[in-house]
Structures are given as structure tokens and as C-alpha cells.
A and B are shown apart, each in its own frame.
Chain A
Amino acid sequence: MTHAIRAEGLVKEFKGKRALDRVDLTARRGAVLGVLGPNGSGKTTTVRILATLLRPDAGCAEVDGFDVLRHPHEVRRLIGLTGQYAAVDEELTGTQNLVLIARLLGFDRTQARVRSAELLERFGLSDAADRPTKGYSGGMRRRLDLAASMIGRPSMLYLDEPTTGLDPHSRNELWEVVRRQVDEGVTVLLTTQYLEEADHLADDIVVLDHGRVISEGTPEQLKDRAGTQVLELRTAEAEQLGLAVKVVEAVTSAPVSDDGLAARVPVTDSAVLPEVVRRLDEQGVAVGELSLRKPSLDEVFLALTGQPAEPQETSEETSA
């Protein structure tokens, strides 16, 4: 068994709307599988099915060889889930939250205390351990939520948009924690809207859009397809943009998009920048603004699908 998680042909409809349309994915043991996609692309639905919280309408999924429909209890013994919203009890303290989960998992009183203290320590929450979590910051809540999902030492960790809404500092801390888990041999399923996050953490990436897998591969492969950076160009005079687009196209041999104000193109090699400048100069195009930056998710989607990512209006969370 080399696959820790394997899903085939998952279909899920909510009120006639297809949230998942034959999704296949596999997570290698001990690796991080990143599920990348915009809001409403089916990320949460996928995680919920793999966590036995939702039944698929069609298709099957196995976690460590256990079918999520036929052996949900075995699957639950293997997984730790950190949902999109930090599911901590606001009125309870950090310790009380963790002790409760530990007790439910069968730890006795002393063991539950020890395990909680250990995790609070590890996640930098010791000082706040005896304060109600409603006073915690967003980052602290996420860390407590993550700690809660790790009490039973799961061999699979599901993280559903773990850093959405976090400041960069808290996000880096969380990434660090995830990496440490991977070092200890945990398989991680991570959903995210951020290419950067998938790039940092994931060994393999599956890109979801409108409930379908539109691309998959290693971060390197995806970036080869989507470009690591975006070259954005504005001409000093708008009439020259057309000419500039031709020049950029000739240099990068990639599809250039322009909205009449600026031209954008994914590039994998930043060495094209001086070449573009030189050629524009030759053609007498006056550059207004020229920049290289990381692609947004929209631009990745554009590169992968030829269509911009449009967030779908689904009631995924509420009806799920």
C-alpha cells in the first residue's frame, strides 16, 4: 500500500448543483498533498468526504486501505481534522478544549492533562492554556485547533485552508508546525487558495476548479505549466500596447493577455526581462511600467485552463 489516501470518481451534488464532478486524487504516504482551488471549487467537500463527514453520491475513497463508507470508524482512528473555521469551544480554556478531546479518545485524566500540556507547549500556547479561547487571536485559535486534531497522534492530517485569514507571521508559524508533522511521518492533505502555500508545503498538488481536477503534478511541474512569475507591462502610451504585446509574445513564446491597459504573461525564467526591455527599446516602445511578480491564483488558473477562476456561488459549508 503506497497510497495513504486514494479517491476515485467522487461526485457530490448539493441541491442539484454539482460540487464535485468525478474527482480523483491520491496522497502518497508521508507526503503532503496540496489541493489548490478558488472558493467553491470543491476543496472542503473533498475533505469532508475523506473525513467521513459527508457521503459522496458516487465514487469511492480509501484512507490507508479503509473505505470511508464501509469503515468510517477505522478511518476516524487514523485522521486528524482541522476545519476551515477553528472549531474550538470559545467558553472553554485551551487546556479544557484539549483535555475533552483526549478524554473522548480514551486517555485517562492524567494522560489527558499530560498530552494537552505537551501540545500546548509545542504550539506556543502554554501561557494562554488556562484562558478561555474567546480571548485568543486568530492565529492562536488555529494552532489550538491543530493541536486538538493531533491529540490522538493521527497518521493523516487534514488541513482545510489552515491559514486563510491569518497574518504572515502566524501563517509561517503554522507552516512550521505542518512541516514538523511531515518530518515525523504524517501524511498531510492540505487545501488552500494560495499557490504560494501549496508551493511551500506540498509535495504534490491537485488543482480543483468547479469540482473538477484541472491539473495535477509536483509544484515544479505546475509552475512549468503556469509560470513561476508574471511579467506585467504598461506602455507610456496606450496605442503602443498592441506592439508591446507582439514583442513580449515573441520573446516569451507564451500566450499574452491584455486588457487594453496592461499586458501580462507567465514567465518561468526571469532572464527574459532584459531581453524584453532591449526589444521594446529597439521598437521604440516607451515603457510606462514593467514588473515581475508572483502569479495570483487567477493567473495560474488562466494559464492552466485558459479561463479565469470565477468563485462559484455555492452554499458548500452551510448545506454540507
Chain B
Amino acid sequence: MSAVTTDSPTGPAGPTPLAPQSVTPLRTVQQGLQLAWRSVLKIRSNPEEVLGLTLQPVMFVTLFVFVFGQAMMGDWQSYRDFLMPGIIAQSVIFATLGTGFTLSQDVEKGIFDRFRSLPIARSAPLVGAILGDLVRYTITVVMVLIVGLAIGFRPEGGVLGVVVAGALILLFAFALCWMSAFVGMIVRTPMSVQAFGMILMFPLTFGSSAFVAPESMPGWLQTVAVNNPVSHVVDAMRGLMIGGDVAGPVFWTLVWTVVITAVFFPLAAWAYRRRT
């Protein structure tokens, strides 16, 4: 950061003394982090968001465990252990919708125009939004986990298994949020992001191994569910947290993460440049 001239209230107008001629990679990162901090501030000051982030996991975990547990596996404790990795994944995947929603909102309200008229890195607002959302996803993971622990979930994988599983779903969410950002940039209003996203997210999460084993599904759905990227993530997390096959699902999760990012990062960047 460059030095500052004395900052008197009635100082003469002139070129912004602080903004350097060009944006260095370091400044880009700093600006991205400053904009990410904006997202964090927004979470803190928005009661609905706080409520969504805290009460929703409590509601989902308890409802699923106690409503379906007995019917699914004979006792709710077994279903709880089966469900926890799935419901963490589902919560985070739904949370990625927020990325597109808030981006769309920022464009609509003219906030991006303000950012883009500043001498800052072109990519900083997009990078900032996504970094900020990773914070939100992390809170989601932790919250769901806390609820699980409160009702007796004791993952066999221990701290390490849980941390790696958490990292894996965050990585996957990072890939998905480019998709969400892309949708946010191409549709007209924030509301349509939500509508469009819901149509995509419900089949993606429920048509997977997140809530029930695909073996119990009819043949065609089983094929879909087994090849659903969400199933790979959930299976990997399940392996890491409560035991089971790890290597295969982790490998496929990483493949999907790379593929989704490779497709949607350029698309999101293109849509962002076009829209802004």
C-alpha cells in the first residue's frame, strides 16, 4: 500500500493519491478479501441470514433423523449416522445458491457499477463474493455438525476424518458456486436465480445417496443417483466420517470438482464481463 498524503477535509481534488497506476496481484487479493469481509458483515447484520444459518440445520437434522429414522433403518441412531454426511452436503450445496442470488442482487442494485467505477482489479468483486461465500459455507458445515454432535453423532473417523470431509465438501461447493455465479449473471432478477436454482438443486441432492442408499431406488433413478456427483461427495464424506470406501469416491469427487470448475469458471467469468 502506498503512503498517504495528509488528509484534510477540504483538501484539493486530484487523482486519487492512493490508487496506484496498476493493480498488482497482491492488491487484487487484498481487494478480494476486503470485499469478502463485506459479505461477512452482511451475514452478521442480516437477522434472516443468521436465522437461516443456525435454525435451518437444527430443523433439518432433527426432522430428518426423528421423522424418517425409524422407518429407514429401524432405529433413528443408525439413520442419524448415515444421514449426517448427506445432510452436511445438502446444506452446503443449497447454500451455494446464495452466491448467484447475491451477485444478481448486487448487479441489480447498481452496487457492481460502483465497484467497477473504482480503480480496483476487475475480478475483485467476483472473487470477493465467492471468498465471502466460502465463509458462509464453512459456518453451515460447522452448524450442522454441532447439531449432529448434540444428538449423539460420534463420527468414527475422528477429528481428522471430519476435517477432511468438511474440506472436501467445501472444495466441491467452491466448484458449484461458479455455476451459481454463472446463473446469477445470466438471469435477470435475484428471484429467478432462486427459482432456477431450486429446480436444479432438489433433484441433484435428493436424487443422490445423501438421504437413502441408491440400491433402494427404481432402476432408472439408481443409475442417475449412482452417477450423480453429489453421491460421490456424500460417499467420500461418509467413508471419511463413519467408515467405508474412501479412495474411489474421493477420486470421483475431485474429478467432478475439476470438471465443474473447468466448465463454469470460464462461463461465469465471461458472463460477469458481459454483464458488468
Q: Do A and B bind each other?
A: yes
Query: Taking the nearest CB of chain B, how far is it from the CB of A55, in angstroms?
Result: 11
Most buried by B among A48, A78, A105, A318: A105
Most buried by A among B9, B16, B31: B16
Query: Taking the nearest CB of chain A, how far is it from the CB of B15, in angstroms?
Result: 5
Asked if residues A105 and B118 are in contact (CB atoms below 8 Å), the reply is yes
Contacts of A314 in B (CB 8 A): none
Cross-interface CB contact of A184 among B12, B42, B115, cutoff 8 Å: B12
Contacts of A114 in B (CB 8 A): 7
Contacts of A105 in B (CB 8 A): 16, 18-19, 118-120
Q: Could you tell me the distance between the alpha carbons of A81 and B18 in the complex, rounded to whole angstroms? A: 18
Q: Could you tell me the distance between the alpha carbons of A90 and B120 in the complex, rounded to whole angstroms? A: 22
Closest B-chain residue to A158, C-beta based? B117
Asked if residues A91 and B7 are in contact (CB atoms below 8 Å), the reply is no
Query: Taking the nearest CB of chain B, how far is it from the CB of A299, in angstroms?
Result: 31
Q: How would residues 182 to 214 of chain B score, 1 for a CB under 8 Å from any chain A CB and 0 otherwise? A: 000000100000000000000000000000000
Asked if residues A78 and B45 are in contact (CB atoms below 8 Å), the reply is no
Cross-interface CB contact of A152 among B19, B34, B41, B124, cutoff 8 Å: B19
Query: Taking the nearest CB of chain B, how far is it from the CB of A238, in angstroms?
Result: 49
Which residues of A line the B interface, CB within 8 A? Answer: 48, 51-53, 73-74, 76-81, 83-93, 96, 100-101, 103-108, 111, 114-115, 118, 122, 132, 148-149, 152-155, 181, 184-186, 318
Q: Could you tell me the distance between the alpha carbons of A185 and B11 in the complex, rounded to whole angstroms? A: 10
Say whether, besides A73-B119, A100-B34, A92 and B13 are in contact (CB < 8 Å). no
Asked if residues A83 and B42 are in contact (CB atoms below 8 Å), the reply is no
- Given contacts A48-B113, A87-B114, A181-B13, 9 further A-B pairs with CB under 8 A are A76-B118, A86-B110, A87-B111, A91-B41, A103-B34, A106-B18, A107-B4, A111-B4, A132-B45
Asked if residues B117 and A79 are in contact (CB atoms below 8 Å), the reply is yes
Instruction: Sort A-B residue pairs by CB-CB distance and give the 5 closest, nearest first.
Output: A152-B16, A106-B18, A87-B110, A81-B117, A76-B119
Cross-interface CB contact of B11 among A83, A86, A106, A153, cutoff 8 Å: A153
Contacts of A185 in B (CB 8 A): 12-13
- What DSSP secondary structure best describes chain B's contact surface? loop
What are 28 contact pairs spanning A and B, CB under 8 A? A51-B117, A53-B117, A73-B119, A76-B117, A78-B16, A81-B113, A81-B114, A87-B113, A88-B111, A90-B109, A91-B45, A91-B46, A92-B41, A92-B45, A96-B41, A100-B35, A101-B118, A103-B34, A104-B120, A105-B118, A105-B119, A105-B120, A106-B19, A111-B4, A149-B117, A152-B16, A152-B18, A155-B15
Q: Could you tell me the distance between the alpha carbons of A114 and B23 in the complex, rounded to whole angstroms? A: 24
Q: Could you tell me the distance between the alpha carbons of A133 and B9 in the complex, rounded to whole angstroms? A: 23
Which residues of B line the A interface, CB within 8 A? Answer: 1-2, 4, 7, 9-23, 27, 31, 34-35, 37-38, 41-42, 45-46, 109-111, 113-120, 124, 188, 276
Cross-interface CB contact of A89 among B42, B116, B118, B188, cutoff 8 Å: B42
Q: Could you tell me the distance between the alpha carbons of A185 and B20 in the complex, rounded to whole angstroms? A: 22
Query: Taking the nearest CB of chain B, how far is it from the CB of A149, in angstroms?
Result: 8
Say whether, besides A84-B110, A85-B109, A87-B109, A100 and B116 are in contact (CB < 8 Å). no
Most buried by A among B2, B111, B124: B111
Say whether, besides A89-B38, A91-B46, A96-B41, A155 and B119 are in contact (CB < 8 Å). no
Asked if residues B118 and A104 are in contact (CB atoms below 8 Å), the reply is yes
Closest B-chain residue to A101, C-beta based? B118
Asked if residues B13 and A154 are in contact (CB atoms below 8 Å), the reply is yes
Asked if residues B119 and A111 are in contact (CB atoms below 8 Å), the reply is no
Asked if residues A184 and B13 are in contact (CB atoms below 8 Å), the reply is yes
Query: Taking the nearest CB of chain A, how far is it from the CB of B158, in angstroms?
Result: 38
Closest B-chain residue to A107, C-beta based? B18
Closest A-chain residue to B11, C-beta based? A153
Q: Could you tell me the distance between the alpha carbons of A153 and B45 in the complex, rounded to whole angstroms? A: 29
Query: Taking the nearest CB of chain A, how far is it from the CB of B226, in angstroms?
Result: 42
Q: Could you tell me the distance between the alpha carbons of A282 and B109 in the complex, rounded to whole angstroms? A: 60
Asked if residues B113 and A111 are in contact (CB atoms below 8 Å), the reply is no
Closest B-chain residue to A110, C-beta based? B4
Contacts of B116 in A (CB 8 A): 52-53
